[in-house]
């Protein structure tokens, strides 16, 4: 899979006009429900694009856990305005919608058809992705997560064309993210880094990216949560999230992410909260299979200097439990409004997901059923 051109650092959003003008002349700017406008960044980004001769059409209003209908509406707007580049600015939802609009810009089928697995064979409209939260790392990955609310299915549209051409990761854009968003996105980033590290698809390159990601996120997540205006903490979170994304784009993830889609489809809860809540339970589930890597992570993060792997791995677990508690993530599936009746329907999609298939401990139907009932 190709990687996007990565532009990282405070102030780099000023390059959006220059980057867009290298890819086209008419931009569809995709964003969320108003926070970009309120923070003043929307106006600055539109004028930055204009300074480089870009015509701009704004598609605002992407909702959390975005629907296929939102992508369909955005794609109509792209076609009506004749846009030849998509600039997506926002959290994971806005970026995923922008990526899907670009990837399907020239595709003849309905968005529903591609969500159900039809291959995208037409060339994509190029995408520039600019995250305003530090968590999903969707700016560097080949999938766009969308919900088919009618069928109760949360799944990805995938393919080479879904990968942005350029990722502009400017920590300044994350300064106005509220604490809850910072907590949920941060737990997603941490989970992605740890699952990339312990994935059966990990290698020395993804380990280098994932461990660096873990250190950056772990060292800054509390500061970013309590003081969102701390630019150094925001820089660390942005970098950690990005590196985690670069790691898992190759290594894939684990059981937390295998469960995250079915739990999200059943409850509508934010992805990052689901990940943060599941992570300590999954560490416990995996501990015998991934003990050495959990122990190394614990020592790397300065949680312990304990030489015994079993003891060090358990200290990592305890550290994550305390972090989730401090960030008010919750502990049980019931707190996410999962009911006993939901559990049965989660087993098949979890086991068949690529994330679960890369979990360090094999995920079998009886083990998963027992695990889910335990954490309900
Ligand atoms: Fe995630």
CA distance 199 to 195: 6
Provide the mean pLDDT of the chain: 97
CA of 190 to the centre of ligand 1 (A): 9
Q: What is the rounded average pLDDT of the residues 274-303?
A: 98
Where residue 284 sits, what CATH number does that domain have?
A: 1.20.1090.10
DSSP string, 148-193: ETTTTEEEEEESGGGS-SEEEE-GGGGTT--HHHHHHHHHHHHHHH
331 and 280 housed in the same domain: yes
- Whether the pLDDT of residue 81 is over 90: the answer is yes
CA of 21 to the centre of ligand 1 (A): 31
Tens digits of per-residue pLDDT, 136-194? 999 999 999 999 989 988 899 999 999 999 999 999 999 999 999 999 999 999 999 99
CA distance 116 to 110: 10
Tens digits of per-residue pLDDT, 7-63? 999 999 999 999 999 999 999 999 999 999 999 999 999 999 999 999 999 999 999
- Residue 280 vs residues 37, 129, 180, 332, 373: alpha-carbon distances, Å: 37, 31, 19, 11, 15
CA of 261 to the centre of ligand 1 (A): 9
**Domain tally for the chain?**
2
CA distance 136 to 92: 6
The predicted pLDDT at position 152 comes to 86
CA of 254 to the centre of ligand 1 (A): 10
CA of 355 to the centre of ligand 1 (A): 10
202 and 323 housed in the same domain: yes
CA distance 347 to 372: 9
198 and 237 housed in the same domain: yes
**Among 149, 174, 199, residue at a domain's last position:** 174
CA of 54 to the centre of ligand 1 (A): 33
CA of 81 to the centre of ligand 1 (A): 33
**Residue 109's pLDDT band (boundaries 50, 70, 90)?**
very high
> Which DSSP category does 67 fall into?
B
The predicted pLDDT at position 51 comes to 98
CA of 257 to the centre of ligand 1 (A): 6
The predicted pLDDT at position 122 comes to 97
221 and 305 housed in the same domain: yes
**Residue 2's pLDDT band (boundaries 50, 70, 90)?**
confident
The neighbouring-strand residues paired with 156 are 145
**Among 153, 174, 195, residue at a domain's last position:** 174
For 60, the 3-state DSSP assignment is coil
Tens digits of per-residue pLDDT, 338-359? 999 999 999 999 999 999 999 9
115 and 206 housed in the same domain: no
CA of 89 to the centre of ligand 1 (A): 18
CA distance 12 to 93: 22
Tens digits of per-residue pLDDT, 232-280? 999 999 999 999 999 999 999 999 999 999 999 999 999 999 999 999 9
161 and 186 housed in the same domain: no
CA of 144 to the centre of ligand 1 (A): 12
CA distance 306 to 31: 46
152 and 187 housed in the same domain: no
CA of 120 to the centre of ligand 1 (A): 24
CA of 214 to the centre of ligand 1 (A): 14
Please give the share of the chain, as a percent, with pLDDT higher than 90. 97
CA distance 87 to 323: 34
The residue count for the chain: 376
63 and 17 housed in the same domain: yes
200 and 298 housed in the same domain: yes
Q: What is the rounded average pLDDT of the residues 293-319?
A: 98
CA of 91 to the centre of ligand 1 (A): 12
The predicted pLDDT at position 142 comes to 94
189 and 151 housed in the same domain: no
Where residue 18 sits, what CATH number does that domain have?
A: 3.40.50.1970
CA of 55 to the centre of ligand 1 (A): 33
- Domain holding 281, by residue range, is 179-375
Question: CB burial class (10 A; 0-12, 13-18, 19+) of residue 119?
Answer: exposed
198 and 342 housed in the same domain: yes
Q: What is the rounded average pLDDT of the residues 201-226?
A: 98
For 127, the 3-state DSSP assignment is strand
**Among 123, 150, 174, residue at a domain's last position:** 174
| Closest residue by Cα to residue 164 from 215, 246, 99, 101 | 99
Alpha helices in the chain (DSSP H): 16-21, 35-38, 41-51, 68-81, 92-103, 111-115, 179-198, 204-226, 231-251, 255-267, 271-300, 309-326, 340-352, 354-357, 365-375
- Residue 256 vs residues 20, 280, 313, 352: alpha-carbon distances, Å: 36, 9, 17, 13
CA of 272 to the centre of ligand 1 (A): 6
CA distance 329 to 165: 34
Which pairing describes strands 55-59 and 85-90: parallel, antiparallel, or unpaired?
A: unpaired
163 and 291 housed in the same domain: no
CA of 300 to the centre of ligand 1 (A): 22
């Amino acid at each position: 899979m190709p990687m996007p051109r990565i532009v990282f650092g405070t102030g780099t959003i000023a390059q959006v006009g220059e980057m867009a003008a290298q890819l086209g002349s008419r931009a569809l700017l995709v964003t969320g429900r108003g926070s970009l406008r309120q923070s003043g960044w929307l106006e600055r980004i539109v004028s930055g694009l204009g300074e480089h001769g870009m015509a701009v059409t704004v598609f605002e209003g992407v909702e959390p856990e975005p629907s296929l209908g939102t992508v369909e509406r955005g794609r109509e707007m792209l076609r009506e305005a004749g846009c030849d580049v998509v600039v997506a600015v926002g959290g994971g939802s806005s970026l995923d919608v922008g990526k899907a609009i670009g990837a399907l810009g020239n595709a003849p089928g309905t968005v529903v058809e591609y969500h159900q697995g039809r291959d995208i064979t037409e060339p994509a409209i190029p995408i520039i992705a600019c995250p305003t939260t530090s968590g999903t790392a969707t700016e560097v990955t080949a999938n766009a997560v969308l919900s088919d609310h009618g069928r109760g299915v949360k799944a990805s549209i995938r393919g080479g064309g879904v990968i942005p051409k350029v990722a502009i990761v400017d920590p300044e854009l994350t300064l106005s993210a509220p604490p809850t968003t910072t907590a949920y996105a941060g737990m997603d980033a941490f989970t992605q880094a740890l699952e990339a590290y312990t994935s059966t698809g990990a290698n020395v390159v993804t380990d280098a990216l994932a461990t660096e990601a873990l250190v950056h996120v772990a060292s800054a997540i509390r500061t970013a949560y309590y003081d969102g205006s701390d630019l150094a903490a925001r820089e660390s979170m942005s970098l950690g999230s990005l590196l985690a994304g670069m790691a898992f784009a190759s290594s894939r993830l684990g059981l937390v992410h295998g469960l995250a889609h079915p739990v999200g489809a059943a409850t509508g809860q934010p992805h990052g909260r689901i990940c943060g809540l599941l992570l300590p339970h999954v560490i416990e589930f995996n501990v015998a299979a991934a003990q050495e890597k959990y122990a190394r992570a614990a020592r790397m993060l300065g949680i312990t200097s304990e030489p015994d792997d079993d003891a060090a791995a358990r200290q990592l677990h305890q550290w994550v439990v305390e972090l989730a508690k401090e960030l008010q993530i919750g502990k049980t599936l019931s707190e996410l409004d999962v009911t006993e009746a939901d559990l049965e329907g989660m087993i098949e999609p979890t086991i068949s997901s690529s994330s679960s298939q890369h979990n360090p401990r094999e995920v079998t139907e009886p083990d998963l059923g027992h695990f889910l009932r335990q954490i309900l």
